Structure 1
Amino acid sequence: MALRRRTTKMPPRVPINRGLVPSSITSLPATYSLNQWTPQIGLAMAKPSQTTIRSIKSTNTPRPDRFAHHPSRSALNSTSSAALERKAHSTPTRTGLVAQKRGMTAVFDPDTGMRSGCTVLQIDRNEVVAHKTREKNGYWAVQIGAGEKQVDNVSRPMLGHFAAAGVAPKRWVFEFKVKGKEGLGVNVGERLGASWFQVGQWVDVRGVSRGMGFEGGMKRHGFGGQPASHGQSLMHRGMGSAGGSQGSGSRVLPGKRMAGNMGNERVTVKNLKVLQVDEANGIVVVNGSVPGPKNQILQIQDAISKPWPKGPMTTAETISASEALASAAVANTVAGTTATTATL
């Protein structure tokens, strides 16, 4: 005879509603609130438990976001006019010139006798090709062409561009941004020479650095290399560890300095002092070194981290300054000849 197992039905489990407002609270008048706790209400219902929110407490005070609006600051403006206004303090007031690096030499200061290295730059037929205006292009700039190029090697669109400006085909064309309309004082088709810069002023020189191909970490970044003691084998110039383990996520962090292509990138050398200016030969001598090998094309413009020089803004001012220097040189020559004659 089979035995029958006695089964007992368990009563249904009442769900626990954690964090929900009890039904007794919903039946209270609208004038009551949870903050108005009184013994009379406490007798009728139980105070709800506090809901805990898990979070990480930071010990660092968050830095204010410079893009967020604050009542003490003026409202942000994302228009193009506002962007040009924010950059006005670091935009030169006049155009720069295109030059070629001819090599390095040294000059002696006649007052102190100090010898300093310098670079010779040559200004080769710089002419204004076009103007970029705020209304048409969205910014102010002067387009400068330099050098000479055969007509057969110039594309037809560029031939039309040069013909509209009334200049010969140029080998190099660069743009120099200016602060405002006053920087467009040089007219299209006019030629600028070395007298555009003055002796003693500060300039920034931009160009492409000399390419050195694929180089190791020691030459590219100045690493010290591995020890050259006993037991070290074939790792004297090695860079060492490239990435950590669990601490850095078992990966190589972005931006790790490693072996790779060195040079051949755009470089700006700031605050170079103009030592000599030769208008007849188009020579500008600056103190220090500039990027690139010999015959490298460079851009020279007024230094942005120095006060703007009181240089010429138009070609007429350049011609008048050159005439003044020439007349002063003639006067000095005549005075020297007179003094020599009087001595004889």
Structure 2
Amino acid sequence: MSIGSIGVKVGMTQIFDEKNVCIPVTLIKVGPCIVTQIKTVDKDGYNAVQLGFGFDTDKPANLPMKGHLAKSGITNCQHLREYYIEKPEDFQTGQKFDITNFQSGQYVSIKGKSIGKGFSGTVKRYKFGRGPMSHGSKNHRAPGSIGAGTTPGRVFPGKRMAGRLGGKPVTIKRLPILRIDTNENVLVVKGSVPGKTGNLLNLIPCL
């Protein structure tokens, strides 16, 4: 009965395997998560489990959220996520999920928001080539022409230009779990995951 879970990025470090090969890893503090709602095909049109995460928050929940969480015996919650399931009868409201639902060697896909880098030009955002760097060029990192003149007389939608970089949902697929620390509720995952330290992550087990 392995479903997804919610966690927080602790940071990155490196470990060494039995052959003394250096492996970059990310530490993720997982759960605990509590089932706040069970959705079924008859009532909601699909089978899913809704998990709540972040109970030690100072921000009070509004009245609709309090009414929703009261059914599962929770007074406050910061994040809610849904995970598709096949058998809703195997779950119950108020059930707790923590790091024990994961196994060493298991593969997970991790979703999170990438680091926001603000307003960026085309060279940084899309790896455009720069112009001549000699004196009088005036086109060192400028985007250059963005379209024809009379025809079509406009800029086509989707043109790659300067704009906001980062801060978007990103999914890293099939990252192996190398170690599990049950004392600190921390997963050691190979490679990097989206976002900075403290970023909220959505972990989905791979089949």
Q: What's the TM-score once normalised by structure 2's chain length? A: 0.91
In the alignment, which of 11, 15, 20 is matched to residue 107 of structure 1? 15
Mapped to 2, the partners of 1:99 and 1:171 lie a distance apart of 12
1:227 deviates by 1.8
Report the counterpart of residue 253 of structure 1 in structure 2: 156
Aligned residues: 207
Residues 1:186 and 1:283: Cα distance change in structure 2 (over 3 Å) = farther
In the alignment, which of 158, 181, 186 is matched to residue 278 of structure 1? 181
Contact 2:2 2:102 in 1 (8 A): no
Provide structure 1 residue ranges, at least 5 long, that are not aligned to the other structure: 1-92, 309-344
Query: Are residues 1:207 and 2:112 paired?
Result: yes
Query: Are residues 1:154 and 2:58 paired?
Result: no
In the alignment, which of 160, 167, 177 is matched to residue 74 of structure 2? 167
Deviations 1:149-191 (A, max 9, x none): 458711122222222112342221111123x226x52322121
1:230 deviates by 4.2
Q: Percent identity?
A: 37
Report the counterpart of residue 268 of structure 1 in structure 2: 171
Counterpart residue type for residue 126 of structure 1? C
Query: Are residues 1:127 and 2:127 paired?
Result: no
Deviations 1:188-216 (A, max 9, x none): 21211112111111111111111111111
1:105 deviates by 0.6
**Equivalent residue runs for 1:218-233 within 5 Å:** 218-233=123-138
Further displaced range: 261-270 or 163-172: 163-172
Contact 2:38 2:91 in 1 (8 A): no
Counterpart residue type for residue 244 of structure 1? A
Contact 1:107 1:118 in 2 (8 A): yes
Deviations 1:28-53 (A, max 9, x none): xxxxxxxxxxxxxxxxxxxxxxxxxx
Counterpart residue type for residue 181 of structure 1? K
Mapped to 2, the partners of 1:197 and 1:147 lie a distance apart of 19
Mapped to 2, the partners of 1:150 and 1:272 lie a distance apart of 30
Larger helix proportion of the pair:
1
Contact 2:31 2:97 in 1 (8 A): no
In the alignment, which of 136, 147, 153 is matched to residue 243 of structure 1? 147
Query: Are residues 1:181 and 2:84 paired?
Result: no
Q: What's the TM-score once normalised by structure 1's chain length? A: 0.56
Residues 1:155 and 1:185: Cα distance change in structure 2 (over 3 Å) = same
Contact 1:201 1:273 in 2 (8 A): yes
Counterpart residue type for residue 52 of structure 2? G
Deviations 1:102-151 (A, max 9, x none): 111111111x3211211100013211111111111111111111121458
Query: Are residues 1:116 and 2:20 paired?
Result: no
3-state DSSP of counterpart to 2:180: strand
Residues 1:151 and 1:159: Cα distance change in structure 2 (over 3 Å) = farther
1:276 deviates by 0.9
3-state DSSP of counterpart to 2:123: helix
Contact 1:204 1:268 in 2 (8 A): yes
Contact 2:5 2:202 in 1 (8 A): yes
3-state DSSP of counterpart to 1:240: coil
The two structures, once aligned, show a CA RMSD in angstroms of 2.0
Contact 1:195 1:278 in 2 (8 A): no
Residues 1:150 and 1:118: Cα distance change in structure 2 (over 3 Å) = closer
Contact 1:102 1:122 in 2 (8 A): yes
3-state DSSP of counterpart to 1:210: coil
Mapped to 1, the partners of 2:140 and 2:21 lie a distance apart of 41
Contact 2:60 2:76 in 1 (8 A): no
Q: Which has the higher contact order (CA 8 A, sep 6+)?
A: 2
Report the counterpart of residue 201 of structure 2 in structure 1: 298
Contact 1:193 1:279 in 2 (8 A): no
The higher radius of gyration belongs to 1
Contact 2:72 2:93 in 1 (8 A): yes
Counterpart residue type for residue 105 of structure 1? T
Contact 1:162 1:169 in 2 (8 A): yes
